[in-house]
Amino acid sequence: MKHLLSAADLTLDEVNGILDLAEEMHQVQTRPVKKLPALRGRTVVNMFFEDSTRTRSSFEIAGKWLSADTINVSGKGSSTSKGESLRDTMLTLDAMGVDAFVIRHSSSGAVAQAAGWVKAHVVNAGDGQHEHPTQALLDAYAMRRHFREHDAEGWAGKRIAIVGDLLHSRVVRSNVLLHRTLGSEVVLVAPPTLLPTGVETWGCEVTSDFDAVLGECDIVMMLRVQRERMAGGFFPTPREYADGYGLTLERLERLKDDAAICHPGPMNRGVEISSEAADAANSLVLEQVAAGVAVRMSVLYHLLGGSDEGGQA
């Protein structure tokens, strides 16, 4: 694998390979020496043009536990056409001979563009409202562990509701693409103002009636509502949003017994998710965070663990 830019890039075998290895990597977190030598001598640059403590530290730990040299670069100030061009920024660091870039950018497509300019491997750590493939992988990892504890059947027939600001969410796009490969069913739930154009072509059930689908889902994934959306006229008030689309205590009680709750974080408690739901026994929120390191170790190993074909020597 040269790059991981989109969840759609991965075949079913590749997804399973990444998730299986993540299980092994997960064990490393419990060892006295949390270190594997696989990426010794490799340099991974975390380029975060947009702040994200959670994702950046998760990638940084993943790299360090695989013995890669990790460097964090914050690429602020490139949000206008007046600043240094993205291409120049990327070429400058690429010329230093790094092995991989982990890139977060506020613009959709920026990571794919960067991959076209550099010799190093590129991992998309979230581009605008486009994709966040490692988030979808770690979500799937947490879900898979949850399912295995409850029944041995695979993804077929599993029903996953993704609820919230679908319009601006890169998490939903990567999840939809990944679950298309895995073969599970996705139900998309949002107020009509927060549905992306063309969402009806995504191959998912789409509804604005959360209560109608709530009781039949195996996973309910709640998406964060950005505060600035409230001023954008997408919905009147947080209270009204919570009433229609929040995982309230009442809705929590109506979930199936073995259903689980996901949230990619950070959570707005009281808006899209109640505290009761966030802290419920069937909440996978902290498992998702723990899975983040293991899944990202697995992704980095898949990209950098072998010889480079067409990459840097």
Partner 1 sequence: MPADSTDPARVIIDSDELGRALARMAHQLLEANHGAENLLLLGIPTRGVPLARRLAGLIAEIEDRTVPVGSLDITMYRDDLRRNPTRVVGRTDVPGSVDDAVVVLVDDVLYSGRTIAAAFDAVRDLGRPRAVRLAVLVDRGHRELPIAADAVGRRIQTAADERVRVRLAETDGVDEVTISRGAL
Partner 2 sequence: MTTPRVSVLISGATTAEGVRGDLYITDGVFADPADAPAGVERIDADGLLALPGLVDLHTHLREPGREDAETVATGTLAAARGGFTCVHAMANTDPVTDTAEAAEYVASLGERDGHCQVIPVGAVTKGLGGEELAELGLMATSRANVRVFSDDGRCVNDSLLMRRALTYVKPYDGVIAQHSQDPRLAGPGACCHESEISGRLGLPGWPAQAESVIVARDVQLAELAGSRLHVCHVSTAESVEVIRWAKRRGIQVTAEATPHHLLLDTTYVEGFDTTFKVNPPLRTSEHLEAIREALADGTIDTVGTDHAPHARQDKDHPFDIALPGMLGLEQALAVVMEVMVHTGRMDWPTLVARMSTTPAEIGRVAGQGRPVAIGEPANLVLVDPSARAVVERDASASRSRNNPYHGLNLPDPVVATYWAGRPTYRR
Q: How many CB atoms lie within 10 A of CB 290?
A: 16
Using CB under 8 A as the binding rule, whether residue 61 contacts partner 1 is answered as: no
Angle at 48 between CA 43 and CA 51, to 5 degrees: 140
- The correct pick among 4, 15, 21, 90 for binding partner 1 (CB under 8 A) is 21
Q: Binding string, 186-225, against partner 2, x = CB under 8 A? A: ----------xxxx-xx-----------------------
The single-letter DSSP state of residue 5 is -
Using CB under 8 A as the binding rule, whether residue 306 contacts partner 1 is answered as: yes
Binding at 53: pick from partner 1, partner 2, none (beta carbon under 5-8 Å per type): none
Site for partner 2 in 56-115 (CB under 8 A): 78-81, 85-88, 105, 107-110, 112-113
Using CB under 8 A as the binding rule, whether residue 173 contacts partner 2 is answered as: yes
Using CB under 8 A as the binding rule, whether residue 267 contacts partner 1 is answered as: no
Binding at 108: pick from partner 2, partner 1, none (beta carbon under 5-8 Å per type): partner 2
Closest CA to 58 of 4, 94, 102, 21: 102
Contact 229, 168 (CB under 8 A): yes
Spell out the residues 6+ positions from residue 138 whose beta carbon is closer than 8 angstroms to its own. Answer: 22, 288, 291, 292, 294, 295, 296
SS3 at position 180 = helix
Of 49 and 141, the one with the shorter C-beta distance to partner 2 is 49
Rg over CA atoms, the chain: 19
Spell out the residues 6+ positions from residue 20 whose beta carbon is closer than 8 angstroms to its own. Answer: none
Contact 21, 294 (CB under 8 A): no
Of 11 and 27, the one with the shorter C-beta distance to partner 1 is 27
* Cβ at position 16, least distance to partner 1 in Å: 11
Which residues of this protein are in contact with partner 1, per CB under 8 A?
Answer: 1, 17, 21, 24, 27, 31-33, 35-38, 66, 301-303, 305-307, 309
Which residues of this protein are in contact with partner 2, per CB under 8 A?
Answer: 78-81, 85-88, 105, 107-110, 112-113, 127-131, 168, 170, 173, 196-199, 201-202
